[in-house]
Amino acid sequence: MGQITKLLVQRIALGLLLLFLVSILIFAGTQILPGDVAQSILGQSATPEALANLRAELGLNEPALSRYVAWLGGVMTGDLGTALTSGQDIADSLATRLSNTLFLAFWAALISVPLAIFLGLLAVRYRDRWPDKLISAVTLTSVSIPEFLIGYVLMYFVAVKLGWAPSVATVYDGMSLGQKLHAIALPVAVLTLVVLAQMMRMTRAAILNVMQSAYIETAELKGLRMFTIIWRHAFPNSIAPIVNVVMLNLAYLVVGVVVIEVVFTYPGMGQYLVDHVSKRDVPVVQACGLIFAAVYIGLNLVADIASILANPRLRHPK
């Protein structure tokens, strides 16, 4: 087995082990949540006998270990269980919600990733001059402000005052692509501002580190234009850390949209999770938590693999 193959197998095995450990934490965490789903379903006026019967019917009286094994076995076969409060199949309910979340994350990534790389290249080109300082100041300011505050500020000025975009990001089947993009304009803008700074700063730092190399000095002595040197020589050799930070932010775009979905009442997984946390619907919370964890671990795994493949010492061993 080659060195690269061995490292890839190790990373994949570590990712699966981590997901298994996260599943234990998710299950244990949901067991200590305050409240009682039976009480939430039947109301405060329910009799002790009715509560006991419902708990037995829902399997809440079973030992925690047996419930975890049954839940994990169902997950491994694609069965996420049934929502306790609605009786609906969780996998069916999550299919549309997950597609909505991925739709929102996709458009935010489509704007933020190229923009962050371009701004990073521009900041390197004009290092320590006013464009560099302006880009750094604006991006650092945006990442320092809580995302819900950015959302409410944009909602007030852009949606309420100017009327350029809706304040509630409602999407549903039958809408055209243009209508959906108009509906999610504000959530996409907020997510772009939130993730832009870190990707831009890493792009700038990675390229500046490469710019100290001898071959960059050689290119400068040959009389090449500075932006040509940055784009054709420095950027390709600094791609590994940039890919890492891009993947981390892509994971955030999927996992970290909970606040944004609640602020804009977007029908995604985050909104679905918050709604069922308030109802103490444990199977839904477990399913959403596990999917979020799988996406985050998976994208981090992709980042690790990309870093391994981008390492010339591993691709061309002596």
Q: What is the pLDDT of residues 173-195, one digit of tens each?
A: 888 888 889 989 999 999 988 88
Among 78-87, 164-173, 181-190, whose mean pLDDT is lowest? 78-87
- Tell which wins on pLDDT, 47 or 297: 297
pLDDT given for residue 131 in this prediction = 85
- Tell which wins on pLDDT, 18 or 47: 18
Give burial (CB, 10 Å; 0-12/13-18/19+) of 17: exposed
State how many domains the chain has.
1
CATH number of the domain where residue 297 is located: 1.10.3720.10
Among 24-33, 51-60, 90-99, 263-272, whose mean pLDDT is lowest? 51-60
In this predicted model, what pLDDT tens digit does every residue of 238-274 receive, in sequence order?
777 788 788 888 888 887 788 888 889 888 888 888 8
Give mean pLDDT, residues 119-138: 86
Q: Is residue 79 part of a domain?
A: no
Q: Is residue 209 part of a domain?
A: yes
pLDDT given for residue 17 in this prediction = 92
> Of the segments 15-19, 78-82, 128-132, which one has the largest average pLDDT value?
15-19
Among 38-47, 105-114, 231-240, whose mean pLDDT is lowest? 38-47
pLDDT given for residue 188 in this prediction = 92
Among 27-41, 151-165, 218-232, 299-313, whose mean pLDDT is lowest? 27-41
* pLDDT at residue 1 is higher than 60: no
* pLDDT at residue 34 is higher than 80: no
Q: Which domain holds residue 149?
A: 90-315
Q: Is residue 294 part of a domain?
A: yes
* pLDDT at residue 46 is higher than 80: no
Encoding tokens for residue 185? 């304009």
Q: Is residue 279 part of a domain?
A: yes
* pLDDT at residue 82 is higher than 70: yes
Sign of CA dihedral 274, 279, 280, 286: negative
Instruction: Indicate the pLDDT class of residue 230, thresholds 50, 70 and 90.
Output: confident
Secondary structure (3-state) at 213: coil
CA distances from 62 to 65, 66, 159, 273 (A): 8, 7, 50, 24
pLDDT given for residue 277 in this prediction = 79
Q: Is residue 179 part of a domain?
A: yes
pLDDT given for residue 186 in this prediction = 92
What are the two backbone dihedrals, phi and then psi, of residue 244, each rounded to the nearest 5 degrees? -60, -50
**Cα–Cα distance measured from residue 233 to residue 114, given in angstroms and rounded to the nearest whole number:** 18
Spell out the alpha helix ranges (H) of the chain: 3-31, 37-42, 48-58, 64-76, 90-125, 130-144, 147-154, 177-183, 185-210, 214-221, 226-229, 239-255, 258-263, 269-278, 282-309, 312-315
Residues 268 and 260: beta-carbon distance below 8 Å = no
Q: Is residue 72 part of a domain?
A: no
Q: Is residue 228 part of a domain?
A: yes
pLDDT given for residue 107 in this prediction = 92
Spell out the alpha helix ranges (H) of 184-222: 185-210, 214-221
**Cα–Cα distance measured from residue 271 to residue 263, given in angstroms and rounded to the nearest whole number:** 9
pLDDT given for residue 61 in this prediction = 67
pLDDT given for residue 21 in this prediction = 92
Q: Is residue 162 part of a domain?
A: yes
Average pLDDT, the chain: 82
* pLDDT at residue 30 is higher than 80: no
In the chain, the percentage of residues whose pLDDT exceeds 90 is: 5
